[in-house]
Chains A and B, each alone.
Chain A
Amino acid sequence: MLSTIVDYIEEIKDQFVPIVARAEDEVEETNDGEEEEDDDDDDEDEDEEETKDQYDELKEECLQTEKGKALKHHYDECAARVQLQKEQPGYDDLENKEDCVEEFFHLQHYLDSCAAPRLFNKLK
């Protein structure tokens, strides 16, 4: 119990006091950006080879919108943060581990609401 309180206070401190990790965060983000692009390239290759799923196509389109990009950025930021936490020693013993479900849901919910109304026009 006490340890969680101490952890929490440290967390608050981390939020206010800039530390070295900031720089690392930025580096990670740029890495993620590159990976994303790689993914896109792969998908396009598949496109040429065979039929592409209409839903995935629409979702990718939606991901390129302003809101889609912003939500994706939020998710990537969270993923990078969790990745960083995972690398730290003693991660397995942590009582409370952060996950990115909420960020993922926000992104996915937006993609759904953006792609779903148009999808069935493309299906038979």
Chain B
Amino acid sequence: MFSRSILSRMVSKTAARQLSTVSGNTAKSANNKLLITGAALAGITASGLLYAESLTANAMTAAEHGLHSPEFDWPQNGPFSTFDHASIRRGYQVYREVCAACHSLDRVAWRTLVGVSHTNSEVKEMAEEFEYDDEPDDNGNPKKRPGKLADYIPAPYPNEQAARAANQGALPPDLSLIVKARHGGSDYIFSLLTGYPEDAPEGVTLPVGSNYNPYFPGGSIAMGRVLFDDLVEYEDGTPATTSQMAKDVSQFLNWCSEPEHDERKRQGLKAIIILSSLYLLSVWVKKFKWASIKTRKFTYTPPKPRK
């Protein structure tokens, strides 16, 4: 209001000057308006384009990360629990009859199974069923020999190229350390094996030769469902349902990844007891040694002033 009254006074005094300033102001404000509308338009268009682009973007979807596997009640859960060795034994059977057709177990030697899931003679027999390269004979011809306890479990394919060629380009990973190598460990392996749905979710298009599995990051996995009810026949009469076999083979693979597991937990228990009692002892010794120092009392008796 105040500025306006000043303006009106100016108007009455100098008409000519006033006219010119008004026309200048209108030109300026028109310019400003144009600029603002332009900026607003550009902003709206840019955000519209960005939004349209975001509708087609497929990054950071749930499918990309895979479905998180639930936690199961494994026999080895807890700080002082061992593997279930009967389950390891069945799991080896599942590996041998099902998984071993495609997956290697390069880092596991026959001898490690002895005293874990099989007896010495059983493992010897199992090893002898396979042929290994032997030293060449006197004429330099390569020879073969039956497997020994010290040999490693043979792989289904001689090399990676052969494995890929037999599986349409997909490489079945070595299973020796697979439980340690995957997020979720045994839970993930179990979920993956049991998690093949009958049909992929509506609208999902899979590449040729791949299968849908929600737990596998990305959803499309080259391995098809392999475990079906009663696929193997367990020697101990356990009903071989899909989940039973998946549990056993996960347990076996967990043992492959952590063969030291049972002993580690036993030693850990010992270490915790010894170390914590030594710690408490050290606390007591410290208190004992410091007791006389902390309870010491210094007194100062000033000499009597001479007179």
Residues of A within 8 A of B (CB): 1, 4-5, 8, 50-56, 75, 78-79, 82-83, 85-86, 95-105, 108-109, 112-113, 115-117, 119-121, 123-124
Our pick among B62, B229, B239 for the contact of A101 (Cβ within 8 Å) is B62
CB of B247 within 8 Å of the partner chain: yes
Our pick among B55, B61, B69, B74 for the contact of A120 (Cβ within 8 Å) is B74
| Contact present for A100 and B203 (CB under 8 Å) | yes
| Contact present for B214 and A105 (CB under 8 Å) | yes
For chain B, which range describes its interface: under 10, 10 to 19, 20 to 34, or 35 or more residues?
Answer: 35 or more
23 A-B pairs whose Cβ atoms sit less than 8 Å apart in the complex: A1-B52, A5-B48, A8-B55, A51-B230, A51-B240, A53-B241, A55-B242, A79-B202, A96-B55, A97-B205, A100-B204, A101-B61, A101-B214, A101-B219, A102-B63, A103-B201, A104-B214, A108-B195, A112-B191, A117-B70, A117-B72, A119-B73, A124-B244
Which residues of chain A come closer than 8 Å to B69, judged between CB atoms?
112
**What separation, in Å, do the CA atoms of A113 and B70 have in the docked complex?**
6
B75 → A minimal CB distance (Å): 8
Our pick among A1, A78, A116 for the contact of B70 (Cβ within 8 Å) is A116
| Contact present for B56 and A101 (CB under 8 Å) | no
> From B61, which residue of chain A is reached at the shortest CB distance?
A101
| Contact present for B56 and A105 (CB under 8 Å) | no
| Contact present for B71 and A105 (CB under 8 Å) | no
**What separation, in Å, do the CA atoms of A54 and B194 have in the docked complex?**
11
Per-position binary interface string of chain B over residues 44-82, scored 1 when its CB falls under 8 Å from any chain A CB and 0 otherwise: 000011011101100001110001111111100000000
Residues of B within 8 A of A (CB): 48-49, 51-53, 55-56, 61-63, 67-74, 86-87, 191, 194-195, 197, 201-205, 214, 219, 229-230, 238-244, 247
| Contact present for B241 and A54 (CB under 8 Å) | yes
Our pick among A50, A83, A96, A123 for the contact of B244 (Cβ within 8 Å) is A123
Tell me whether A105 and B62 are in contact in the complex, defined as CB-CB below 8 angstroms, given that A1-B49, A50-B229, A51-B239 are known contacts: yes
Tell me whether A102 and B247 are in contact in the complex, defined as CB-CB below 8 angstroms, given that A53-B229, A120-B74 are known contacts: no
**What separation, in Å, do the CA atoms of A120 and B78 have in the docked complex?**
15
| Contact present for B204 and A101 (CB under 8 Å) | yes
| Contact present for B203 and A97 (CB under 8 Å) | yes
| Contact present for B244 and A54 (CB under 8 Å) | yes
Our pick among B55, B62, B219, B247 for the contact of A123 (Cβ within 8 Å) is B247
Which residues of chain A come closer than 8 Å to B62, judged between CB atoms?
101-102, 105
Our pick among B51, B87, B214 for the contact of A108 (Cβ within 8 Å) is B214
Our pick among A79, A97, A116 for the contact of B72 (Cβ within 8 Å) is A116
**What separation, in Å, do the CA atoms of A102 and B195 have in the docked complex?**
16
